[in-house]
Chains A and B, each alone.
Chain A
Amino acid sequence: MNRGLPLPKFTYWRAVFLTVMALGAYAAYLRFLHGLGASTHLSDDFPWGLWIGFDVLCGVGLAAGGFTLAAAVHIFNIEKYKPIVRPAILTAFLGYLLVIVALLFDLGRPYRIWHPLIMWNPHSVMFEVGWCVTLYTTVLALEFSPVVLEKLRWRRALKVVHGALIPLVIAGVLLSTLHQSSLGSLYLIVPHKLHPLWYTPLLPILFFLSAVTVGLAMTIFESWHSSKAFGRQLEVPLLRGMARLLAVLESAYLVMRFLDLARRGALGPAFEPTPEAGFFWLEIAFMAVPALLLYFVRVRANPKALYWCAVLAIFGFITHRLNVSVTGMERASGVQYVPKWTEVMVTLAIVALGFALFRAAVQYLPIFERGGEEERPSEMLASAGATQAGS
């Protein structure tokens, strides 16, 4: 899955892509015509599985690069990151759209997905997440719209969006802060079900911090792939800077994680011979290795090492979220949940769709700034708009 982009073996990957999509379509048919019982291994004992644990919890987190980079460039005015804002916002926008697609698979009555917008329950974390995701997807659509408007050369619309850019970015950061942490808050209600290695009142803070961290890792990941696929120069100095921040944030996260475990007296179970302990250390290893390695200048200077550190950090993030949603919930549920092939296929198809859409967008829209040689009028307008908004 991680080499969906490179060109050299294009026909091979195209075949893989088509196979995944065909199987995904069949799985979708089973899901929507025969119901959740026929297409998943979910049960009354285990009502949330892969689609929530990976597609939603990981999907939203992996798309966090959008708000962090938008904030870095537009709020903190760190201009050097400007070349990678657009790909990050594209990733975020696609990510959120695909999360919504995944939700449509998981909800028992997907055609009622809009209900939280009119049937309010402000006590519900899920209600808050629903609203934030809806609003933030709208914000992302607007943040992304200049790319399309430039292509279409709709200058007036472009000007309007640029004028609203800063409020949009601020709204995006606030909405992201709220729902990235709230995904963790979802599990605050199950102190009796979630294993002590993962249940903590700090869940919202850990979810937020890990999302910001993995957002950086994803940006490194996609920059590397895009440079391979499109023969672009890799923005090594930029990625180095992000890698350093990644190391710092990941370390802070791990320190907080262990202090919390120690304070709650929950470190004991980590040293018992249980599957939970195994998955816990896997999660910690995936996070700690890149966190340590990225402190070395030599590692940060080597694009390949940088790339693999980012991949490890992404794995660590995914392992943590799956541990919260699956590993940590199994014991109390009394069942062992292993996703059915249909669940896996739908998830793979959604991931593959994400790669394909990203690729298509990069190919047909001005996502990456071309190095100077073909400065288009639309780009000049864009930068004019940016300074205008900045004055």
Chain B
Amino acid sequence: MASKAVLFDGTLCIGCRSCESACAEKWGLPYDEEIAAEERLSEHKLTTVVTRGERYARRLCMHCVEPTCASVCPVGAFRKTDLGPVIYEEWRCMGCRYCMLACPFHVPAYEWSKTLPKVRKCDMCNERQLAGKVTACTEACPTGATASGDRDAMLAEARKRLAENPAQYDGRIYGVGEVGGASVFMLSAVPLTQFGYRSDLPAEPLPVLTRRALAFVPDVVGVGGVLLGGIYWITHRREAVAAAEGKNRAPRRNHE
């Protein structure tokens, strides 16, 4: 099956929050007016609509092509599946929260109130995707602001909309050029920075940065080991030679 993606078009969104309640229902999370008004991702809100006057945007996991969370997790609890979703395997997680520190989109949330907490984030309805269905938020959206389907098709659709109505959009597809690309694309009439999105993310995937450092590990072990062994041999050889040359001349000790 082809890799899936979600396309959100802010110009079609009416701020009805059907996506939020569908998401809460899917995860079995509480949802009421108070939670609806929170407008931020948290342990009980895995997607949210963000309102700025008459304009709307959505926040949810971007399902990066090269996910930072999957790269930093010491126990490999995050995985990008062939189908597109970045999924989280709770049974591996020890709760170090490096994923939260590292995520460039500020997505993973933690169950701070629980004694045995886990990370919470959108999984692009992995189980529904496996069953060939669209995400719960897509199904619930009354205006088509949220759409989902094959990644290539979603990207083509986004490009088409930009080309057909250039005046209606701010001119970019968010999620294409950020940290190596994502599987969630955002279209908006105004820059998404107004909704808390960052426009200054590097184009290359973040895991490249740590991979570069980790590449030195074998060198440190190999070269370092030989070097230290060599130094040990030389420094102690000198002493042995001195001892052998003249037993009357004791090796230098610290009698100062």
- B118 near A108 with CB under 8 A, answer yes
Bound-state Cα–Cα, A237 to B118, Å: 54
- A391 near B240 with CB under 8 A, answer yes
Bound-state Cα–Cα, A95 to B20, Å: 47
**What is the total number of residues of chain B having a CB less than 8 Å from a CB of chain A?**
64
Q: Tell yes or no: A173 within 8 A of B by CB.
A: yes
- A192 near B198 with CB under 8 A, answer yes
Bound-state Cα–Cα, A103 to B249, Å: 53
Q: How far apart are B42's CB and chain A's nearest CB, in angstroms?
A: 6
Bound-state Cα–Cα, A127 to B97, Å: 13
- B73 near A121 with CB under 8 A, answer yes
Q: Tell yes or no: A128 within 8 A of B by CB.
A: yes
- List the A side residues contacting B246 at CB < 8 Å: none
Bound-state Cα–Cα, A161 to B231, Å: 21
Contact of B102 among A77, A108, A190, A201 (CB under 8 A): A190
Q: Tell yes or no: A126 within 8 A of B by CB.
A: yes
Contact of B115 among A34, A45, A174 (CB under 8 A): A34
- A108 near B97 with CB under 8 A, answer yes
- A123 near B214 with CB under 8 A, answer yes
Q: Tell yes or no: B167 within 8 A of A by CB.
A: no
B residues 160-199 in Cβ contact with A at 8 Å: 198
Which of A38, A77, A201 has the most CB atoms of chain B within a 10 A radius of its CB? Answer: A77
Contact of A177 among B72, B220, B229 (CB under 8 A): B220
- A108 near B236 with CB under 8 A, answer no
- A170 near B228 with CB under 8 A, answer yes
Q: Tell yes or no: A263 within 8 A of B by CB.
A: no
Q: Mind listing 18 A-B residue pairs with CB under 8 Å?
A: A37-B114, A42-B112, A44-B43, A47-B110, A71-B228, A108-B96, A108-B116, A112-B93, A113-B94, A115-B74, A124-B71, A124-B76, A125-B72, A126-B96, A174-B224, A188-B209, A189-B206, A390-B239
Please list the residues of chain A having a beta carbon within 8 angstroms of any beta carbon in chain B: 32-38, 42-45, 47-48, 71, 74-77, 79-80, 106-110, 112-113, 115-116, 119-130, 166, 170, 173-174, 177-178, 181-182, 185-186, 188-193, 201, 204, 237, 329, 390-391
Please list the residues of chain B having a beta carbon within 8 angstroms of any beta carbon in chain A: 41-43, 68, 70-77, 92-98, 100-102, 104, 106, 108-118, 198, 200-202, 206-207, 209-214, 217, 220-221, 224-225, 228-229, 231-232, 235-236, 238-240, 253-254, 256
